[in-house]
Amino acid sequence: MPLIVDRLTKIYPDGTRALHEVSFTVEDGEFVAIIGLSGAGKSTLLRCINRLIEPTSGRVIWNGIDITAASPRELRKIRRQIGMIFQQFNLVKRATVLTNVLTGRLGYVNPWLSLLGYFPPSEVQRAMRALERVGLADLADKRADELSGGQQQRVGIARALMQEPRLLLADEPVASLDPVLAHSILRYIEELNRKDGVTVLCSLHFLDLVHRYATRVIGLKDGIKVFDGRPDEIDDRRFKEIYGQEAERIGG
Amino acid sequence: MRRHRRWLQIIGGLLALGIYAGSWHVVGIDLKRLVEPQAAQRAREIFTAFLAPEILVPERGIQRVEALVRVPCESGNASPSTVEAGEGPRLFLPPCASPGTRIRVRGEGFRPRSELVLRWVFAPSPQLPLGGELPAGRTRTDDAGRFELEVEIRPLLAREGGARLQAEAQWEGRWRISPALTRTIELMLQTIFLALMATTLATGIAAPLSFLAARNITARGPVGTAVYYMVRTTFNVVRSIEPLVVAAIFATWVGFGPFAGVLALTVATVVNLGKLFSEVIETIDPGPVEALLATGANSLQVIRYAVIPQITLPFLAFIIYHWDINIRISTVVGFVGGGGIGYQLKLWIDQTDYHKAGTAVWAIVAVVSAMDYVSARLREAIR
């Protein structure tokens, strides 16, 4: 059940070429870090996989299904198996933590009942288990905006857990957080990857995080794939290919 | 180049001057008219009346008895004529008198310590086709409700062969709420409910429409974009028509009264709230929308869980704000047939009943400023 990205290209209406013929295949259980400068196309790539952004051309095939050709109905069925977490957490700030987590289940529950705000008790239990897993069960009734950034991202992970995902797309999940908190968040993602066997595609800024968590790295520069290999293969030459001649390696 | 610009400035300046001179003339500005003696007199009358709105009025009491006095006397009958009105007042006086003399008039059973007026009342006659009245004297009743007064028999009475002498006791009773105030309160409540109904109906219509007028929700694909522009344009066109004009139209359509006012305010509120709501929707954080789309939620679920929680409070604030505006407008839709306090206010002004008009004006001031305050506090509280 690999994820095949085939000559994926995205050109925005204003003419910006965000992705150009990017191709790669991800096997089940991989932890793929996507690196590159801001604007290299990392976010666009992740969003083209679940079609939050419509690719201009190319295909994305997952589990043998062509996501890029799916009807809206099929697309919702596919999306509910693909978890996603975001740099800005994207929680509904005025809703409770529990409600935020439950929304991860919207693709599975009865849509009409969900519009009335009803979730079956089994789903509420599932949400509580997800919150326990990220250590936030006692904050279930708090409003999301009362939580710290790190806690909010853990709610984001719990929401993704509700989908029982086979694939997790993580768009700079720790870029808005204190570096100290980065590891705590990435450890949850790593656990999902190792224990539950969820395939992870995660864009990251810091190379030391890439070395610590990723099993494979894809480097993007100006929308073009310039590197695809193991983290320890990134030497100074490769580093400058990805980040440009002026870039300096810090740490990692 | 520089000289060119100088000329443009001069021409522009002259043009502006011409426009202002023309406008001054067209609208007939004539400041003298504000202070002309007659106008100033009217203004004084109106404003002093407004400063003394009719709020409390004394209860007026009246007792009235009359008895016939013949002038001159035909025979020497001098026994006093007595008029009795049951338990009420009685009048004692001679049945006839000669012109130029004075007669003594006595009364009993009147309300103690009240104003008492005596007057001659003439029946219609060839000389006085409409009848008439002539003052005969005034006094006050004593602690026992009695009075005594001498009345002159004037030559005029002889010409009519006599007249009825009327005694009228008048007094001011307790102060009570004036009918004008009762009416004002009644109509003010109608006005507030009118605004409430219009705001509620309009919210029900504007809330769903506003989603169609929100670019980030609707303007997707050719059909969506067409709908978006259609709703937007409708809002903008209808918004340019003042509620008073709409009220005048509805007053002709469904007849004068509060219903016409409700319809007019509803239309005005739908387009205003629709625009305000759609702007709220356009400025929501797109993050949660994106996140829920990624979970496989459908559009309605996304609206329910990612959009509505973000817009509820701003919507509520705008609704309260608009109720406030609607109360303001509903005080005047009556002027064009929309019901509420405005209708009565216009009537009182037209009847030059300025004290009553003052009551209505002060009621409007009180209610509008109270709503202003309440709405501001409510909006603060839900922020």
CA pair distance A116, B300, nearest whole angstrom: 11
CA pair distance A59, B92, nearest whole angstrom: 119
Name the residue of chain B whose CA is nearest to A53's CA.
B290
**pLDDT the model gives residue A138:** 95
CA pair distance A179, A186, nearest whole angstrom: 11
* Token pair 């975001």 in the structure block, residue: A86
In terms of pLDDT, which residue wins out, B205 or B220? B205
- Rounded to the nearest 10 degrees, the angle between the axes of helix B308-333 and helix B258-282 is 150
Domain extent listing, chain B: 61-177, 179-381
Q: Is B316 on the interface with A (CB under 8 A)?
A: no
Residues 6 or more apart whose CB falls under 8 angstroms from that of B126 comprise none
In terms of pLDDT, which residue wins out, A1 or A114? A114
Partner-chain contact B309 A163, CB within 8 Å:
no
Distance from the A163 Cα atom to the nearest Cα atom in chain B, whole angstroms:
7
Which candidate from B300, B301, B309 shows the least CB-CB separation from A92? Answer: B309
Judge whether A142 and A114 are in contact, CB under 8 Å: no
Q: What number of other Cβ atoms are within 10 A of residue B154's Cβ? A: 14
As given in the structure block, the two tokens for residue A46 are: 């992740």
Q: Does A106 reside within a domain?
A: yes
Q: Does A89 reside within a domain?
A: no
Cα angle for residues B85, B86, B87 (degrees, 5° grid): 110
Task: Please give the radius of gyration of chain B, using alpha carbons only, rounded to the nearest integer.
Answer: 36
Which candidate from A81, A93, A106 shows the least CB-CB separation from B305? Answer: A106
Average of per-residue pLDDT values in chain B = 89
Distance from the A242 Cα atom to the nearest Cα atom in chain B, whole angstroms:
29
Q: Is B298 on the interface with A (CB under 8 A)?
A: yes
Please indicate, yes or no, whether residues A9 and A132 belong to a single structural domain of this protein.
no
Please indicate, yes or no, whether residues A142 and A177 belong to a single structural domain of this protein.
no
B297 neighbourhood in chain A, CB within 8 Å: 76, 103, 106-107
Q: Does A143 reside within a domain?
A: yes
A53 neighbourhood in chain B, CB within 8 Å: none
Q: Phi, psi (5° rounding) for residue A175?
A: -70, -25
As given in the structure block, the two tokens for residue B220 are: 């997707």
* Token pair 């670019």 in the structure block, residue: B215
Tell me the one-letter amino acid at B175.
Answer: W
**Which of B75-84, B325-334, B341-350 shows the lowest per-residue confidence on average (mean pLDDT)?**
B75-84
**pLDDT the model gives residue B96:** 85
Please indicate, yes or no, whether residues A174 and A52 belong to a single structural domain of this protein.
yes
CA dihedral B38, B41, B45, B50 (to 10 degrees): 100
User: Which residues face B171 on adjacent strands?
Assistant: B61
Percent of chain B with pLDDT over 90: 46
CA pair distance A249, A246, nearest whole angstrom: 10
Partner-chain contact A80 B296, CB within 8 Å:
yes
Query: Of A145, A161, A177, which one is at a domain's C-terminal end?
Result: A161
Judge whether B260 and B338 are in contact, CB under 8 Å: yes
Percent of chain B with pLDDT over 70: 96
pLDDT at B78 over 60: no
Query: Of A113, A143, A161, which one is at a domain's C-terminal end?
Result: A161
- Exposed / middle / buried, residue B221 (Cβ in 10 Å: 0-12, 13-18, 19+): exposed
Residues B26-65, buried b or exposed e (16+ Cβ, 10 A)?
eeeeeeeeeeeeeeeeeeeeeeebbeebbbeeeeeeebeb
pLDDT at B2 over 90: no
As given in the structure block, the two tokens for residue B61 are: 């009491």
pLDDT digits (tens, 9 = 90+) for A188-199: 999 999 999 999
B220 neighbourhood in chain A, CB within 8 Å: none
As given in the structure block, the two tokens for residue B99 are: 């012109």
Q: Is B221 on the interface with A (CB under 8 A)?
A: no
Q: Does A236 reside within a domain?
A: yes
**pLDDT the model gives residue A92:** 94
Percent of chain A with pLDDT over 90: 84
CA pair distance A130, A160, nearest whole angstrom: 9
Name the residue of chain A whose CA is nearest to B310's CA.
A94
Please indicate, yes or no, whether residues A224 and A246 belong to a single structural domain of this protein.
yes
Would you give the distance in Å from CA A117 to the centre of its chain?
A: 27
Which candidate from B287, B294, B297 shows the least CB-CB separation from A88? Answer: B287
Distance from the B309 Cα atom to the nearest Cα atom in chain A, whole angstroms:
6
pLDDT digits (tens, 9 = 90+) for B109-149: 888 888 999 999 988 887 778 888 888 899 999 998 899 99
Judge whether B273 and A82 are in contact, CB under 8 Å: no
Model ipTM?
0.93
Residues A196-210, buried b or exposed e (16+ Cβ, 10 A)?
eebbbbbbbbbbebb
Highest CATH level, class, for B61-177: mainly beta
CA pair distance A197, A165, nearest whole angstrom: 10
* Token pair 């004037």 in the structure block, residue: B154
Query: Of A161, A182, A205, which one is at a domain's C-terminal end?
Result: A161
Q: Is B288 on the interface with A (CB under 8 A)?
A: yes
pLDDT digits (tens, 9 = 90+) for A95-134: 999 999 999 999 999 999 999 999 999 999 999 999 999 9
Which candidate from B287, B297, B301 shows the least CB-CB separation from A90? Answer: B287
CA dihedral B290, B294, B296, B301 (to 10 degrees): -20
Q: In what order do the strands lie in the sheet with B81-84?
A: B81-84, B90-93, B102-108, B147-152
Average of per-residue pLDDT values in chain A = 93
Partner-chain contact A99 B294, CB within 8 Å:
no
Is the CA virtual torsion B221, B222, B227, B233 positive or negative? positive
pLDDT digits (tens, 9 = 90+) for B254-263: 998 899 999 9
Q: Does A119 reside within a domain?
A: yes
B298 neighbourhood in chain A, CB within 8 Å: 76, 106, 111
Domain with A102, as residue range(s), is 95-161
Omega before residue A231 within 30° of 0, cis:
no
Partner-chain contact B305 A91, CB within 8 Å:
no
Q: What number of other Cβ atoms are within 10 A of residue A155's Cβ? A: 27
Please indicate, yes or no, whether residues A120 and A23 belong to a single structural domain of this protein.
no
Is the CA virtual torsion A29, A30, A33, A39 positive or negative? negative
Tell me the one-letter amino acid at B158.
Answer: A
Ranges of H-type helices in B104-178: 155-160
Task: Please give the radius of gyration of chain A, using alpha carbons only, rounded to the nearest integer.
Answer: 18
Distance from the A164 Cα atom to the nearest Cα atom in chain B, whole angstroms:
11
- Rounded to the nearest 10 degrees, the angle between the axes of helix B179-212 and helix B258-282 is 40
A92 neighbourhood in chain B, CB within 8 Å: 288, 305-306, 309-310
- Name the pLDDT band for B76 (thresholds 50, 70, 90): low
Which candidate from B301, B309, B312 shows the least CB-CB separation from A115? Answer: B301
Judge whether B57 and B178 are in contact, CB under 8 Å: yes
Cα angle for residues B192, B193, B199 (degrees, 5° grid): 95
Partner-chain contact B294 A79, CB within 8 Å:
yes
Q: Does A90 reside within a domain?
A: no
HSE, side-chain direction, 13 A CA sphere, residue B40: 5
Distance from the B293 Cα atom to the nearest Cα atom in chain A, whole angstroms:
7
* Across B85-112, average pLDDT: 85
Tell me the one-letter amino acid at A16.
Answer: T
Is the CA virtual torsion A36, A39, A40, A46 positive or negative? positive
Partner-chain contact B309 A94, CB within 8 Å:
yes
- Name the pLDDT band for A252 (thresholds 50, 70, 90): very low
* Token pair 């609704």 in the structure block, residue: B319
Which candidate from A89, A95, A107 shows the least CB-CB separation from B295? Answer: A107
CATH code for residues B179-381: 1.10.3720.10
pLDDT digits (tens, 9 = 90+) for A9-42: 999 999 999 999 999 999 999 999 999 988 899 9
Please indicate, yes or no, whether residues A175 and A210 belong to a single structural domain of this protein.
yes
A99 neighbourhood in chain B, CB within 8 Å: 305
Q: Does A87 reside within a domain?
A: no
As given in the structure block, the two tokens for residue A142 are: 């708090």
Could you tell me whether strands A31-35 and A224-229 are parallel, antiparallel, or unpaired per DSSP bridges? unpaired
pLDDT digits (tens, 9 = 90+) for A127-185: 999 999 999 999 999 999 999 999 999 999 999 999 999 999 999 999 988 888 899 99
Partner-chain contact B313 A99, CB within 8 Å:
no
* Token pair 């990392």 in the structure block, residue: A42
Residues B226-256, buried b or exposed e (16+ Cβ, 10 A)?
eebeebbebbeeeeeeebbebbbbbbeeeeb
A106 neighbourhood in chain B, CB within 8 Å: 292, 295-298, 301, 305
Partner-chain contact B301 A156, CB within 8 Å:
no
Number of domains in chain A: 2
Name the residue of chain A whose CA is nearest to B312's CA.
A94
Judge whether A18 and A44 are in contact, CB under 8 Å: yes
